[in-house]
Amino acid sequence: MEFIKKFAKEISVFGLVLVIFLGLFIYRQATFKDYKTISQDKLTQMIESKEDFVVVLGDASNTTVQGYQSIMTKYTTKNRSTPFYYLNTADVDKLEDYVKKTFESEVSYPVTFIIKEGKMVAKKEGAMQYYSLYDFVKENFK
């Protein structure tokens, strides 16, 4: 009888710990969203299918881009409805030619593009602070 009580107590403690971890996981899923990193081919496909989205191009090894990535994460967490993507330019073959052909523009990196119906409607070069990014997207995306 003592064994059953001890076993039941351990099961209830394990169940409580399991419920706490499950609750924390659900909380994180509900409150945190990250931008999605895409490939060059996926970006081209999204433009050809005339989607609406925001995309940032930059080299992940650059310290400016690394700082901007935290701003992008903050933006996507607070603004879940905006489709937000990132393309690591270190993975792009013939980068300047690709950007000229795809966006019909020469840019410096990082650069944030607003794409509507497969066409670039706005661009902003350089890393922005959260509220600058928020205002830029709000003015040009909605």
Q: Could you give the CA distance from residue 119 to residue 101 in angstroms, rounded to a whole number?
A: 12
The SS3 call for residue 52 is coil
Residues 18, 21: Cα–Cα separation, whole Å: 5
Q: What pLDDT does 13 receive?
A: 76
Q: Which two tokens stand for residue 89?
A: 């330019």
Name the least confident of 29-33, 67-71, 81-85.
29-33
Identify whether the C-beta of residue 53 lies closer than 8 Å to the C-beta of residue 76: no
Q: Is 127 exposed, middle or buried (0-12, 13-18, 19+ CB in 10 A)?
A: buried
pLDDT at 70 over 80: yes
* Better-predicted residue by pLDDT, 19 or 132: 132
Q: Is the pTM of this model over 0.85?
A: no
Provide the percentage of residues in the chain whose pLDDT is more than 70: 99
Q: Rounded to whole angstroms, how far apart are CA atoms 85 and 34?
A: 9
| Residues of the chain above pLDDT 90, percent | 63
> What rounded mean pLDDT belongs to the chain?
90
Per-residue confidence (pLDDT) for residue 23, from 0 to 100: 84
Q: Name residue 142's beta-bridge partners.
A: none
Could you tell me how far CA 113 lies from the centroid of its own chain? 14
d(CA 53, CA 19): 37
